[in-house]
Copies of this chain bind each other. A is one copy, B any other.
Amino acid sequence: MAGTIDARLTELGITLPAAAAPVANYVPYVISGNQLWISGQLPLWDGALKYTGQTGDAVTVDEAADAARVCALNILAQAKAALGDLDRITRVVKLTGFVNAVPGFTDQPKVINGASNLMVEVLADKGRHARSAVGAGGLPLGAPVEVDAVIEFA
């Protein structure tokens, strides 16, 4: 029997990616008490980056926002792998979004909105989170965006 959030994903026509394996020696998530800490997720889909390069150069702001949305889908995929059922999520506590962009770029919030909007779209009020959106001097594999998360669950 599919959970409420699974049904919501289906209704929205959203498919989660396979939970991505870490690109190095760490684990994709750790549970501590009722907190699920999820490693920085890249915009990976079927094992390849959906976008590569700097925002404002190879990647537009809209594309970077879509990349952030894919990061958020990967966060949900990890949460499902960790918790078994997304209905166990009681609150997305914090997202930290890092944007790889050209010098002088100031639209980090527009980019990370791609992740924030997805969380609220799927999880409604439980998806409303605290957030930091900042520029990075560079990101793994040349990704335009990386997002990590702390999620509370029951």
Q: Known: A24-B112, A32-B91. Contact between A103 and B135, CB under 8 A?
A: no
CB-contacts of A98-154 with B (<8 A): 98-101, 103-110, 112-113, 116-117, 120, 128-142, 146, 148, 150, 152
Shortest distance from the beta carbon of A24 to any chain B beta carbon, whole Å: 4
Within 8 A of B (CB), among A22-66: 22-30, 32-35, 37-40
Query: Which of B25, B26, B35, B132 sits near A32, CB closer than 8 Å?
Result: B35
Q: How many residues on the A side are at the interface (Cβ–Cβ under 8 A)?
A: 59
Q: Is the CB of A110 within 8 A of B30?
A: no
A95 at the interface (CB under 8 A from B): yes
Q: Is the CB of B30 within 8 A of A100?
A: no
Q: Kindly state whether residue A5 has any CB partner on chain B within 8 Å.
A: no
- Indicate if the CB atoms of B32 and A110 lie closer than 8 Å: no
Counting CB contacts under 8 A, is A80 at the interface?
no
Q: CB distance A93 to B30 under 8 Å?
A: yes
Assess A95 versus B130: contact at CB under 8 Å? Given A35-B32, A106-B141, A137-B100.
no
What 3 A-B pairs have minimum CB-CB distances, sorted nearest first? Answer: A135-B138, A40-B132, A135-B137
Please list 23 pairs of residues, one from A and one from B, whose beta carbons are closer than 8 Å in the complex, sorted by A's number: A24-B113, A24-B116, A25-B113, A26-B116, A28-B130, A32-B35, A33-B34, A37-B130, A38-B130, A39-B130, A39-B132, A40-B131, A40-B134, A99-B138, A100-B135, A104-B142, A105-B137, A108-B139, A130-B148, A134-B138, A134-B139, A135-B136, A136-B137
